[in-house]
Amino acid sequence: MKFHILDGFPKSVSPSSHATESGGFVFLTGQFGRDLDAPAKPLPEGIKAQTDRTLSNMRRVLGSLGLTMGQVMSVRVFLTHFKRDYDAMNEVYAGFFHEGARPARTCVGVTDLVRDALIEIDCIARR
């Protein structure tokens, strides 16, 4: 088993690794809309901007591990305003995965997320 603490990335908000890996599966810690180059900056406004930043962060973490979005098998999406933001989130989300090759997904509403984020996404990828 490998525990990935990635150079050039801000420390995880929680006491966790950026990713763990075993048997060809890579598990990413949840990403949210912070700026990875300036993590203290405010989160972007609105669900579309936060979804874009969150998935861009996920793509960047995967890339640092030699993986692509095409290797993502499963995604979990957490929304603090499910009914309000679900459709707008999906508009942005769909652009990050090729139609016909999208990962399995669970999307749930939650009461709160770190730094008052509107969305958090984690995933499992396969080498």
Question: How confident is the prediction for the chain on average, in pLDDT?
Answer: 97
Task: Print the domain residue range for 96.
Answer: 2-126
Token pair in block for residue 61: 């973490």
Number of structural domains in the chain: 1
CATH of the domain at 84: 3.30.1330.40
Q: What is the pLDDT of residues 47-67, one digit of tens each?
A: 999 999 999 999 999 999 999
| Whole-number pLDDT of residue 13 | 86
| Whole-number pLDDT of residue 42 | 98
How far the first Cα of the chain sits from its last, in Å, is: 14
Q: What DSSP state is assigned to residue 37?
A: T
* Beta-sheet strand order (sheet of 25-31): 2-4, 19-22, 25-31, 119-126, 72-79, 104-109
Q: Give the E-state strand segments of the chain in sequence order.
A: 2-4, 19-22, 25-31, 72-79, 104-109, 119-126
CA-based Rg of the chain, rounded to a whole angstrom? 14
| Whole-number pLDDT of residue 2 | 97
